[in-house]
Amino acid sequence: MNPRDNETVPLVPSGYVHQTRITEGVEKASAALATDVVRIRYELGENWTGEDAVFFRVLLRNTASQRPKLREVARRVSATVLREVRPQELGLQAYFSFRSEAEQDALKEEAWA
């Protein structure tokens, strides 16, 4: 065993260490996108390949989730969140899920509340 290698100290993904930074970035993005976004929630975890990731859940206003506007809104929301949070600097892959207010009203999932 290498004397410099401490096998008993678990490695913590940098996203967990920088959760305050992520939260502040999400809050800034939410404020900038308030006309189209009700709220943005996130969760830290691993993607399907085991890499550290941040999963954003974006609740859109019903007016923003209608076609043909939806594609442009999703692009703008993703770009704004990525600019404010900068997950790649934290070693995190970013993933986005979008849902309208009407969908959430029907599904009533707590994670989206």
| Domain assignment present for 95 | yes
Q: Which domain holds residue 75?
A: 14-112
pLDDT at 5: 57
Question: Where on the phi/psi map is residue 104: left (φ > 0), alpha (ψ -120 to 50), or beta?
Answer: alpha
Read off the pLDDT of each residue in 25-29 and give the average, rounded to a whole number. 97
Helix H or strand E segment including 31: helix 19-32
Question: CATH no. for residue 96?
Answer: 3.30.70.1350
| Domain assignment present for 27 | yes
| Domain assignment present for 8 | no
| Domain assignment present for 96 | yes
**Alpha-carbon distance 17 to 37, whole Å?**
27
Distance from the Cα of residue 82 to its chain's centroid = 9
| Domain assignment present for 32 | yes
pLDDT at 81: 98
Is the predicted pLDDT of residue 49 greater than 90, yes or no? yes
| Domain assignment present for 57 | yes
| pTM, two decimal places | 0.84
| Domain assignment present for 108 | yes
Q: How many distinct structural domains can be found in the chain?
A: 1
| Domain assignment present for 2 | no
